[in-house]
Chains A and B, each alone.
Chain A
Amino acid sequence: MTTPHCEVAGAIQELADTIASGRLTEPRCRRRAEELLQLLEDVSSGRGGSGHYEAMQKLARELVEDSADSGCVETGESMSRLLAQHREVFASHIETFICPSGDCVKLAPAPCQIACPAGIDVPSYVTLIGMGRDAEAVDLIRESNPFPWVCGLVCTNPCELMCVRGRIDESISIKFLKGFAAERAMSEGTYRNPAKARDNGRKVAIIGAGPAGLTAAYFLALKGYRVTVIESLPVAGGMMMVGIPRYRLPREVIDREVAMIADLGVEIRLNTRLGVDVTIDQLRDEGFEAFLFAIGAHGSLKLMIPGEDDYPQVINAVGLLRRVALGDRRSPGKRVAVVGGGNVAIDAARTCLRLGCEQVVLAYRRSRSEMPAHVEEIHQAEEEGVALRFLTVPKEVVGTDGKVTGLLCLRAELGQPDERGRRRPVPVEGSEHLLEVDAVIPAIGQRVETESLVPLEELKWSKRQTIMTNNITMETSVSGLFAAGDAVSGPATVVEAIGGGKRAAEALDRHLQGIPQPEMPPVPVRRRRLECIEVPAPTKMVLKRPEMPLLNTDRRRITFQQVELGYPENAVREEARRCLRCDICRRCGRCVEICRDLMGVNALQLGYLDFDHPVASDLRVTSERCIACGACAANCPNEAMVMQDQEGERSLSLCGTTLNRLDLERCEACGVVVGTTRYRNFISERVSKAGLSMEGGTLCADCARRHRAARQSDNLPPG
């Protein structure tokens, strides 16, 4: 057995070995050790409660104090040491029901949940949505993330990248399922806030009403704090509102979710600029005890080429998107060049089309495969008519009479990879050519606008000019000042900002309550262990990820209407049924090993969980070959594989997927189940190879014994 990485699993192994070795000879000491082992196993299997840690400490202490036996004292000391050193690991097992290493099998997390920066329990809400329980799904998501609707539309879905189903065909459409559930719950009026803790009277100020700030506001309000959010713009939502265009994220979505947060008693002061309209000192005088800076990265990086500052038609993308979001829908020009290859560049280009630009060229200095923008977004931009020009490096903005007339560019070739592994573009000498445009929109990156924080001299900044924080607690170099979101990470995603806001809220709470800060990064929380939805294997294989219906391209080119129209309800329920429930099946492959290597039946074609034997995954093959012996189920560490006898049938299922169903055979004497015909044929074939035959018809083991005993006694001579 390999040494576990998880301290809980390690402690169990150590203690179990000690008990088995027989070193603990004193009965009282042995009993204590066994009790301690039981408590450890509770913690490791998700049955730990609030008193477990203290109870384990007490038992370990008693082992030391109440015995003269050296084996007993050593065991107690060792356990006490483990408990003290890894207190947080034990606590996190008890509180989150997740063992990040996966050594505690029942608590092994699903890859999608681990991938989510907000740590949402994805398999549980996907299952709830599959069951049609949308409101519960939204409640569950909002335990980790207050913006299910926003994220359901614009999340960069790292969960789907990790989705195990993607190894069979395509990943589950997690993002859109979430969006559907949130929309449905909102429309039915079942989108609700969780219960709030009692008002504790303490005031926290959050600077910036973006995803990070509002997430922190939500979690702090739930803990009973009086939260005020300071926002310089006339609208709440931050980059979600002024960075993401309306055709991807309708304003109503943000407004409704922000309103839910405001409903918790969070005060949002709009049009209030820190350092201008209000200062930190003034806020301190108002009674605010702690601060969170979630000011985002609203500044733009410059192209650093001649002519950039000379014309009003050079408009940075962030500025343009903000202007448009706030209602100014004047077109920047007839022919526009957007410079950059990220999501913001695509957003700016598509926005320009909708503002009436006749020609939109997107100039990117590398090639298509290096573009950081989301593939879907690039695809949709091209459909709408954005022209992509790769390997194009801007050299100079040219113009006459104070007006842009073109962008002078160089062609580039890809050279050596840089430190991030992307090949560096190398301009080709003498390849100058002019893009004839009347507006240039640089979208090559964003920076944090540091001006409002200049008075805070002790605040430390990173090399990238973002706020430096402890990445576990999000606390800055100034005690009581926290930071989160793009202001810390540089321009990133909504869901990363939400994750940061959540961490900051937890740390702020601890700071104000005087509780020590955590030393390990937060672990996501398993919210439920839901039963699996029953799906026959052929259905599970045949169901395909649905295509997202899109608004027609004509309308997409001229309006800001939402492009992705959402799945119909039946597609959503079916899609949820494709989920493999990786929160239950941890893909250890024991079932496959047993069926293939030990039983020689090879009925489980589960290539997706077996990197050493990359066979094609097909859940349908099982019903052709499986003899229903049940060895896979008997050895499944987490009851993911289940064999059941019901209504004359034996069925085998993996996380709800019915792999096989066979008619049962019964004992001819007592009627007890003796297996299936295929199973008995398998045995009889093996036995006949040894020159034997299955004797005595179909009798169960008990009846066989009784039957033979009776025959034997008949043969006995009279006693």
Chain B
Amino acid sequence: MSVYYLFQDAGKCIGCHSCEVACKSNKGLPVGPRLCQVITVGPKMVGDLPRAAYTFMPCFHCENPWCVAACPTGAMQKREKDGIVFVEESLCVGCKSCMSACPWGAPQWSAEARKVVKCDYCKDRVDDGLKPACATVCTSHCLHFGKPEEIPPVRRERYAKAMAIFE
């Protein structure tokens, strides 16, 4: 894993897709590729009420990434200093091996460039001390980016609150 953690507090997410929009506009992407995607799961009936879940699916920047192993040209790389997995555009020839190999469908196809594009945690922004584009626009503040130790323990707190028994 990279040294960063992009945490989605799924309980707060309302599925507004702002993160996707910010991501695509930051990268200037055409119709098609979605580097991060909010997937609507459900709705399911929970008790008597329909409930939907919104799962944020970026790239997980694996410790031993399938995409890097699959890439024959060395375009897919893992950054030494922080473990961010990214595509070196000039080396990508568009064979889509990474797309077939990734169990999460993270690498995406840009038909316009005839190359693969992929979430790189906006590494240029990160290098400038900024957060990835998606995490800056989240309307319900459910996306948190940082080192794991900096992420607020929201889930634990919420669970604790739910479990709390006032005597």
Contact = CB atoms under 8 A, between A and B. Distances in A.
A and B are interacting partners: yes
Interface of A: 594, 598-601, 629-631, 634-635, 674-675, 679-680, 682-684, 686-687, 689-692, 694-696, 699-706, 708-710, 712-713, 716-719
B159 A717 contact: yes
Nearest to B97: A683
A599 B93 contact: yes
B93 A686 contact: no
Contacts of B66: 687, 690, 692, 694-695
Contacts of B101: 683-684, 686-687, 694
A686 B73 contact: no
B11 interface: yes
A88 B11 CA distance: 67
Nearest to B38: A709
Nearest to B69: A690
A634 B97 CA distance: 14
Given A599-B72, A686-B69, A703 B95 contact: no
Given A631-B95, A635-B94, A683-B101, A712 B55 contact: yes
B161 to A, nearest CB: 12
B57 interface: yes
B95 A599 contact: yes
Contact of A634 (B10, B94, B103): B94
Contacts of A687: 66, 69-70, 101
Given A717-B155, A717-B159, A630 B96 contact: yes
Contacts of B42: 713
A674 B100 CA distance: 7
Contact of B69 (A679, A689, A708, A717): A689
Contacts of B107: 701
B105 interface: yes
Given A599-B95, A690-B64, A634 B53 contact: no
Interface string B67-109: 0111011000000000000000001011111011111111111
Contacts of B91: 598
Given A690-B64, A713-B41, A598 B69 contact: no
A630 B116 CA distance: 13
6 contacts: A629-B95, A675-B96, A692-B64, A692-B69, A704-B104, A719-B158
A709 B41 contact: yes
Contact of B64 (A600, A630, A691, A695): A691
Given A634-B114, A702-B105, A708 B57 contact: yes
Contacts of B11: 716, 719
Given A599-B95, A630-B96, A674-B100, 17 more contacts: A594-B93, A599-B73, A629-B96, A635-B94, A680-B100, A683-B100, A686-B70, A692-B69, A696-B103, A701-B107, A701-B108, A705-B57, A705-B104, A705-B106, A709-B39, A709-B41, A710-B39
A704 B106 CA distance: 9
Contact of B100 (A679, A692, A706, A713): A679
B93 A598 contact: yes
B105 to A, nearest CB: 4
Nearest to B39: A709
A676 to B, nearest CB: 11
Nearest to B72: A599
Nearest to B55: A709
Contact of B72 (A598, A708, A719): A598
B57 A701 contact: no
Nearest to A601: B72
A709 B106 CA distance: 12
A280 to B, nearest CB: 63
What's the dominant secondary structure at chain B's contact region? Answer: mixed
B107 to A, nearest CB: 7
A675 B10 CA distance: 34
A687 B107 CA distance: 15
Contacts of B97: 629, 682-683, 686
A594 B115 CA distance: 13
Contacts of B70: 683, 686-687
Interface of B: 10-11, 37, 39, 41-42, 53, 55, 57, 64, 66, 68-70, 72-73, 91, 93-97, 99-109, 114-115, 155, 158-159, 162
A704 B72 contact: no
The winner among A629, A680, A689, A700 for most chain B CB atoms within 10 A is: A629
Q: Which of B73, B91, B97, B106 has the most CB of A within 10 A?
A: B97
Nearest to B37: A705
A713 B53 contact: yes
A707 to B, nearest CB: 9
A684 B159 CA distance: 41
A686 B41 contact: no
A599 B55 CA distance: 35
Contact of B39 (A634, A694, A699, A706): A706
A600 to B, nearest CB: 6
B10 A686 contact: no
Contacts of B41: 709-710, 713
A706 B38 CA distance: 9
Contacts of A598: 72-73, 91, 93
A675 B96 CA distance: 9
A514 B69 CA distance: 68
A708 B94 contact: no
A675 B41 CA distance: 27
A717 B159 CA distance: 8
**10 tightest A-B CB contacts, nearest first:** A690-B69, A701-B105, A705-B105, A634-B94, A719-B11, A709-B39, A704-B105, A709-B55, A629-B95, A713-B53
Nearest to A600: B72
Q: Which of B64, B94, B162 has the most CB of A within 10 A?
A: B94
Contacts of B155: 717
A600 B99 CA distance: 18
Contacts of A686: 69-70, 72, 97, 101
Contacts of B64: 690-692
B132 to A, nearest CB: 18
B15 to A, nearest CB: 12
A599 B155 CA distance: 45
Contact of A709 (B57, B108, B158): B57
B45 to A, nearest CB: 14
B37 A675 contact: no
A708 B104 contact: yes
A713 B93 contact: no
B69 A701 contact: no
B89 to A, nearest CB: 13
Nearest to A717: B159
Contacts of A601: 72
